[in-house]
A and B are shown apart, each in its own frame.
Chain A
Amino acid sequence: MTESGFTVDVDQNQYLPEGGREVSAIVTVASAADATGFAGSGSAGTEPEGSAEIIIIDCSGSMEYPHTKIAEARAATAAAVDVVRDGVLFAVIAGTNQAWPVFPADGSMARADASSRAAAKQAVAGLRAGGGTAIGQWLELARATFARYPAKLRHAILLTDGKNQHETPDQLAAAVHQCEGFFSCDCRGVGTDWEVGELRTISTGLLGSVDIVPDPSGLAADFAALMRSAMGKQVADVALRVWTPQHATVKYVKQVAPTVDDLTGRRTTSGPQSGDYPTGAWGPGESRDYHVGVEVSPAGIGQEMLAARVSLVAQSPSGTDVLGQGLVRAIWTDDEALSTKINQRVAHYTGQAELAAAIQDGLEARKQGDEETATAKLGRAVALAHQSGNEDTAKLLAKVVDVVDVETGTVRLKKQVEDADEMALDTRSIKTVRARK
């Protein structure tokens, strides 16, 4: 590990044929497992006082059906509150077709200690369900609450059980956009009446995870785990800064492990030839892979060009800290043995991204009643999951289709599919299997 506590490694085939333009590479970013070395990164490290947490809990009428949902949601919120470290700012917000502060009731945030945690749990215990669902309003209140305090790490957990009925998709998208880069948000859907696409919009925009908790009794453990993970984050607002030469275009920047997350559209210009792609907050011992694709204007045989310089950057009071750097190269050759060599990790992650897309497209087609497309897409997904050894996804697929031939991806759609199975497949379609060097 470097002094910054981060390493950046590039894996690629740098050789292009004559006239070749497409350069792609897998960039692996890893943080040191040793938390002390990590905090040594100075300005980028964060004390408890620099962290702020908000738990957003759905109190719409449907949370009463069954009654255990709201009860488990209260218990889960209490479990998460218990995990908040001393000194961290926290608050609890309730949401229906509007949003209101539950704790502290005046819309402020409290420093975590034994008495504030007890007071928060007491306030949460009084929550009752009733009303509609307007998630954009909840996010807006969270943003306003966070904005009252300086903090380096702002993180929220959002729980819902239903569709975003009292807002248009545009209103939700606008609210998410307002919060982008300001706080991160992990989303959980309880039961099977919520929309995977809606929560994915939020979790993707706010660089968090999304998952289904089919049984309300699983909520408490899940919330506590989410909060523990959030407490482990130490470096906030880390971005991939991608420099490219003149006349070159960044085709895509995707996180491909542990989950697929397309960051291409998230670029903010950071210089005449560079753009920043957000990666959110980092805890110790994390490792993520990114697939970077650049189109360059070709040079002659034997020429070498720097196709991209990928830097990991974090903002600090003293300016921009470069935590690590990797070079993506292009060398033009007439040796076909070199230029046609396929980089195994690039190929693997290309397959994993296709797998995620095939599942999402297949399930959407199934919903629309287009059985032919659904069968083809989900069949392709079965074959890809098998080839890449993504067993978790293969198991989830097997609950939605009957596999006839795993090699060719020949499948039949199951007539009866549990909603929870379909939603689990959809939400977890973005989880990838790691490709080792």
Chain B
Amino acid sequence: MTGPEGVTGGPLALEGTCPSCGAPVGARDSFCESCGTELSPPKVSTEPPGYEAQCPVCSLDPQAAPSVITPDGYCESCGRRAPTGRDHSELDLGLLAGVTDRGLRHTRNEDAMGLATVDTTGGPVAIAVVCDGVSTSPRPDEASLAATQASVRALVTAVRRGEDPVDASLAGVQSAHRALAMIGSPGAAPSATYISAVIGRDAVTVCWLGDSRAYWLSTGPDVIRLSTDDSLAEELVARGQMNEMQALASPQAHVITRWLGADLPELEPHLIRFEPPRPGVVLVCSDGLWNYRPDAESLAELALPAAFADPLGTAAELVKFAIDAGGMDNITVVLVPFPLAPFPEEPPHPKTVPVRRLAPLSRRSSA
């Protein structure tokens, strides 16, 4: 068993040269001083540039002529819907990694994720955003991607500027909200759930609306779910009318009560700050994973200790677990080992703050 001692945060940006112009760059530079290229841009689960869709059936038949995919995304020969570049995506930034997958029962991946790392004077900061398109809204796949792109970009900008993680998180969710307001109207509002996690030296700051979740996983007793769902199921549990398993089995389990979209009357995100008492792993995921293992303890069993050393491989394993369990929904898993960088010689401050007692810092939008 590999302990947390084995954790090594990947180097952020080596002292080296700009990948675009070759000029020398500093380890803490965000942009190349010479040509202005962004040195560690955020990565989002978009269709990769130059992605060429292929028919999943005809491309496997050596006898068949090369398949033509029409602009509406179908094979001109057999009619099968061609996978988009978003059906399966893996992002690895070293300090954190994520995998998103269409699953087995949905025809496209309406989840999106965005990852980034920023070097600050206080050390590295990892940023993760996961959005799950609301399938009853129009163009949910566009919604999740637009929200993710806007948010991760705003978070990176705010953190680079030295803003507090709480302010940065609010800037992120507001930016995502504006992005969805722009692509929709109250009558036709592409919508998505939203969750962001900003992981710094001492704390994890989580901001969300809807039922995508963040967990704190560790090998100690402090394993916990960091977010609460904006869902009817969670409300039923909170009111003591059902236990969690009953609520999840009920037809309203996935009816969410808050989301991002142009039909949102007022932006009221949840926001918490959590100070990890020991090394562990932050898991940010969509309901495609937690449907099959809602409790933090079970997820910790699945993810640890592998996630400490191999966040990408472990994220892929968790996605595979959800697919093997039925793959009913799109699945997105992001794993961030904590601390981001190896601890200095001194052990971490032994501060344990039960997250349940941490009131949300802000429920109100400053927009």
Contacts and interface: CB of A to CB of B under 8 A. Distances in A.
Contacts of B104: 301-302
A413 interface: no
Given A306-B74, A327-B72, A248 B79 contact: yes
Nearest to A308: B79
Interface string B69-94: 00010110111110000000000000
Interface string A163-181: 0000000000000000000
Interface string B98-112: 000001111100000
Contacts of B106: 302
B81 A245 contact: no
Contacts of B74: 305-306, 309
Nearest to A248: B79
Contacts of B77: 245-246, 273
Contacts of A394: none
A221 B170 CA distance: 73
A304 to B, nearest CB: 4
A246 B104 CA distance: 24
A260 interface: no
Contacts of A327: 72
B79 A331 contact: no
Contacts of A309: 72, 74
Contacts of A248: 79
Q: How large is the interface on B (under 10, 10 to 19, 20 to 34, 35 or more residues)?
A: 10 to 19
Interface in A332-371: 333-334
Contact of B107 (A244, A273, A331): A331
Tell me the interface secondary structure of chain B in the complex: loop
A302 B103 CA distance: 9
A417 B140 CA distance: 60
A68 B265 CA distance: 73
A298 to B, nearest CB: 12
A307 B79 CA distance: 7
Interface string A306-317: 110100000000
Contacts of B327: 302
A303 B79 contact: no
Contacts of A246: 77-79
Nearest to B64: A246
B79 A301 contact: no
B80 A305 contact: yes
Contacts of A244: 79
B52 to A, nearest CB: 19
Contacts of B80: 245, 299, 303-306
Interface in A238-283: 244-248, 273
A279 B316 CA distance: 53
Contacts of A247: 78
A182 B244 CA distance: 70
B319 to A, nearest CB: 15
A431 B273 CA distance: 68
A296 interface: yes
A302 B78 contact: no
A328 to B, nearest CB: 10
Nearest to A330: B79
Given A306-B74, A327-B72, A333 B105 contact: yes
Contact of B79 (A296, A302, A333, A334): A296
A301 to B, nearest CB: 7
A192 to B, nearest CB: 51
Contacts of A299: 80
Given A245-B77, A246-B78, A303 B72 contact: no
Interface of B: 72, 74-75, 77-81, 103-107, 327
Which 10 interchain pairs have the tightest Cβ spacing? A245-B79, A306-B74, A304-B81, A304-B107, A306-B79, A302-B105, A305-B79, A302-B104, A245-B78, A246-B78
7 contacts: A245-B75, A245-B77, A303-B80, A304-B81, A306-B72, A307-B79, A331-B107
Interface of A: 244-248, 273, 296, 299, 301-307, 309, 327, 331, 333-334
Given A304-B80, A305-B80, 17 more contacts: A245-B77, A245-B78, A245-B80, A296-B79, A301-B105, A302-B103, A302-B104, A302-B106, A302-B327, A303-B80, A305-B78, A305-B79, A305-B81, A306-B72, A306-B79, A306-B80, A331-B107
